[in-house]
Amino acid sequence: MALLGGMNPRPLTLIFHILGITFTSIGHLLSPFPTPLHVWHSLRLFVSTMKMLGHHIKVEGARQMLYPESTPMYYRPYMAQPLSN
């Protein structure tokens, strides 16, 4: 729910979530018996997901998304100190 509500700012969580949904969808398309049409739809789904993720990584910055500890602190405000209760 934090991801859908925009309260989880970690980009890798979004990438893993989208890939999980994509591979689950491909699994449902190809089971119980993969037909050529379902294989084609699975490939199209995978390509469209990769295009979407590629654009997202390009906009956000690959280094900031994939290696957040290597970016300077002023580029990563989501890694600031947690709020005290």
Please write the tens of the pLDDT for every residue from 3-24.
Answer: 767 677 677 788 888 999 999 9
Please write the tens of the pLDDT for every residue from 33-68.
Answer: 899 999 999 999 999 999 998 887 787 777 777 676
Bond preceding residue 36 cis, omega within 30 of 0 = no
Question: Which tokens hold the place of 3?
Answer: 């991801």
Alpha helices in 1-85 (DSSP H): 11-30, 36-60, 62-66
pTM, rounded to two decimals: 0.67
CB-based contacts of 81: which residues, under 8 Å, 6+ apart? Answer: none
